[in-house]
Structure 1
Amino acid sequence: MTKKRAIVFSGGRLGEEDLQQIQPGDFIIGADKGALFLIEHGITPHVSVGDFDSVTPEEKSRVESASKRMLSCDPVLKDLTDTELALEIAMDEQAEHVLMLGVTGTRMDHTLANVQILVRAMQHHIGCAIMDAHNYIELTGSTLEIEPMGYTYTSLIPMTAEVTGIELDGFMYPLHNATLKMGQSRGVSNQLIAPKGTISIESGLLLVIQSKD
């Protein structure tokens, strides 16, 4: 049985290359300006969601008419960001994996908040990744396999005070039963040297970022 995947287009940096990530059967969610981006490129979102404070009233009407379903909320009274609302919809749709695009950009507050959304997805046992032109970001609390995706580096960033029992296999700089503490840069800029790498940890939450310049 094929796992159901949701793909979120949010209002950060998006390019035409992001459209190439869409696969047959994906449940497509447009968050705020991300919904407009989809429609402008001939893609019909299954759901468009947000306060739509980043688009004009005319653009919002266009989104509403071109989406299969639209959920609009008050920009002041809502408790969740547009991207988190999109994740909630993906969870309601029982997606087993969520790919988030357009969730990084010039607003560091939004970028960091969206990275932390990976924790929420993990709590609901949903695989989730953030992707942009230079980064592919995942979170693990156990084991993660890394395959070549065109990125140069793989960096390990603790998302808890410390991450223990780290094992790296298939990388230039292996680790064995290592501990990384928040604030340390020891895990930055490793490189995959095998057809596939494995990262495993015993405790904590570890952010795994594949990146390129």
Structure 2
Amino acid sequence: MKHTRVLIFTGGELSPRFLEEIQNGDFIIGADRGALYLIEHGIRPNLSVGDFDSIPPEQMERVRSMSEKVVDCDPIDKNLTDTELAFDLALDKSPESILILGATGSRLDHTLANIHMLIRGLQHHISCSILDENNFITLTGTSCIVENKGFTYVSLLPLTTEVTGIHLEGFEYPLHNATLRLGQSLGVSNKLAEDKGTVRIEGGLLLIIQSKDG
């Protein structure tokens, strides 16, 4: 069965509100503790993956029995994080989009690694994004429609040394043929002026972060 969207629930900060993101036809992956979270909330993952080192043995049996499929790995020999393992399996599905939930939290290294994974989504021509309680993060190398998702701000941050030819339409602070460079804050805390806005760039990779205060 061809799935147009894959949802990954991973082991960072998770909220019951994220369960509302699940739609009919989604392929649902639980990564490590994210798999147990889904099962505890009555959701059967299509796939559970990871080393499961954060799950007690008795709960691991529950994950095995309640998941359609389990892919586990050795916690010592593995080279990828649980989230990246799940992301690789999501890419293999060739969906139109991938949404990652629980990808942020107190571990800044894991958060940054998960944000950097969005680059691989672009390389596979798959729209990928990260959602948490206060942020919706996506990445573009060409153009993107930014829809109002209830967040206060829209910040634009370069993920390459520079991003050139930036054009914004539908924002309170439009840009025309602008350039953003690493270390600059020019693109921080813009706002949508309409229900949606358009971001177009000519070169580089641009993070688009919709956010609100906690």
When normalised by structure 1's length, the TM-score is 0.98
Q: How far did 1:4 drift?
A: 0.7
Unaligned runs of 5+ in 1: none
Task: Answer yes or no: is the 8 Å Cα contact 2:143–2:200 preserved in 1.
Answer: yes
Runs of 4+ residues deviating >3 angstroms: none
**RMSD (Å), alpha carbons:** 1.0
| CA distances 1:85-123 after superposition (whole Å, capped 9, x unpaired) | 111111112212000000101111100000000001111
* One-letter code aligned to 1:52: F
- Would you say 1:174 and 2:174 are equivalent positions? yes
Instruction: Give the whole-Å Cα distance in 1 for the aligned partners of 2:71 and 2:123.
Output: 24
1:75–1:3 Cα change, 3 Å: closer
| CA distances 1:151-209 after superposition (whole Å, capped 9, x unpaired) | 00000000000000000011111100000000001100000011220000000000000
SS in 2 for 1:20: helix
Instruction: Give the whole-Å Cα distance in 2 for the aligned partners of 1:58 and 1:143.
Output: 47
Unaligned runs of 5+ in 2: none
Q: How far did 1:58 drift?
A: 1.2
Task: Answer yes or no: is the 8 Å Cα contact 2:4–2:25 preserved in 1.
Answer: yes
Instruction: Give the whole-Å Cα distance in 1 for the aligned partners of 2:101 and 2:195.
Output: 26
Q: Give runs of aligned pairs for residues 22-171 of structure 1, distance below 5 A.
A: 22-171=22-171
Q: How far did 1:3 drift?
A: 6.5
When normalised by structure 2's length, the TM-score is 0.97
Instruction: Give the whole-Å Cα distance in 2 for the aligned partners of 1:115 and 1:196.
Output: 23
Q: How far did 1:15 drift?
A: 1.1
Q: 2:204 maps to which residue?
A: 204
Instruction: Give the whole-Å Cα distance in 2 for the aligned partners of 1:154 and 1:56.
Output: 40
* One-letter code aligned to 1:171: F
* One-letter code aligned to 2:121: A
| CA distances 1:103-151 after superposition (whole Å, capped 9, x unpaired) | 1011111000000000011111111000011000000000000111100
Instruction: Give the whole-Å Cα distance in 1 for the aligned partners of 2:55 and 2:108.
Output: 20
**Count of equivalent residues:** 212
* One-letter code aligned to 1:180: L
Percent identity, please: 59
